[in-house]
Structure 1
Amino acid sequence: MDNMNLSKHISGQFNAELEDVRNRVMAMGGLVEEQLTNALSVLQSGDDELAKKVVARDRKVNTLEVSIDEECTRIIAKRQPAASDLRLVLAISKTVSDLERIGDSAERIARLATEHHSKRQRGMLVSMDAMGRHTLKMLHEVLDAFARMDVDAALRIHKEDAKVDAEYEAVVRQLMTFMMEDPRSIPNVLDVLWAARALERVGDRCQNICEYIIYYVKGKDVRHLDMNQVEDLLK
């Protein structure tokens, strides 16, 4: 929290409010990371009880998103923050939205995994294992970068999404092979393809959070820019 300059506010209460909302974001991030970890475990095991835990936890994540967003709105209305303080509140609001959507992806993956029990269906799901582990690593690291507001880490994690995209394309090719070998598998393949897409979107959400970190620290909006443009803008 040292990089966030909270000690410079005249109002100690304002400091406390920003610290509290930041801590709640980290708590929400921890819950979402646990959701994704458990959802990936369900892919391997088909554990119904663990899947139910993921689904139940999603409601808590949704509640946190709403409460944090309400607090951000209250801070803006009451404190009328400017400059870096305003960027921080906006970055928090956008981050919790992406975290909630990652939680939704985890819930959907867990639900799907328990609906596909045959050996062949399980093989399709296991094909996403490497991609799942990669997105989980991205989520863990981006939460750490957010806690420290570390731009260098954010840039490094941002680049990882290209690798997740490549893994997604490999999964799609493998699933296409399943369909060509057995047209009767098409409905199941489409369900698994949907889950793979959900995982790919987790990588995109992590990339978004990297952009919010850069926006807060540097005051630069790097959305929709490629990595070369981002690096040039931050020089």
Structure 2
Amino acid sequence: MSAQDARPLRVVVADDQASVREGLALMLDLLPDIDVVASAANGQEALDRVAEHHPDAILLDLHMPVLDGTETTRRLTADHPGVAVVVLTTYADDTSVLETLRAGARAYLTKDADRLHIARTLHSAAAGLSVLDPKVQATLLAAASRVASAPARPPHPDPADPPHPDPADPPLPDGLTRREAEILTLMARGMTNTEIAAALFLSGNTVKTHISRVFTKTGSRDRVAAVRYAGDHGLG
């Protein structure tokens, strides 16, 4: 058993509503494997409490004063990369989800999650895993469907025309192949390995191999990091 497993997970709770913040802190602190070390009422306080207490994870509301959850997540990821950011919010629209994941959040839950689900997610995030609420997954899949149903790009010009670069096919970053970029794009749209395999007429093992290469080339430790990379490089 590791040192981290032998002690409760140290957590900061950040929410601008006092009743929600205090309720979450009390509810989680009653669990034997969670130790709520501090709470914060806004994004700046969250940064200050993390710098002061060095927790394993922070449970973070998305819409807060001073600094919102997305900007707070971005700064936490930059200044305290070892602290797992778990977003707990009422907002599950695709813009909020993608912006926060790209900022560095490891998990995204909605506020109807029960305390055991929240606790499991905090532990998973602190262990380096990514967790998305089912509603959040549904939101990302819906967004992917809208993108997939968008009109196809215009056909290539006549071969007799003077040659010129195709802006739809820019150079790919970090040595990604076209197939790897295609799979990364589908991952960013929320598709599972099985759905990707079916869409591209590939075997499941082939998709897994490509994803493993994507992780290596992009320096992504997990699927959420790969999705964030895709967004940052225009592949989402």
Instruction: Write 1 or 2 for the structure with the bigger share of strand.
Output: 2
Settle same-fold status: TM greater than 0.5.
Answer: no
Q: Which has the higher contact order (CA 8 A, sep 6+)?
A: 1
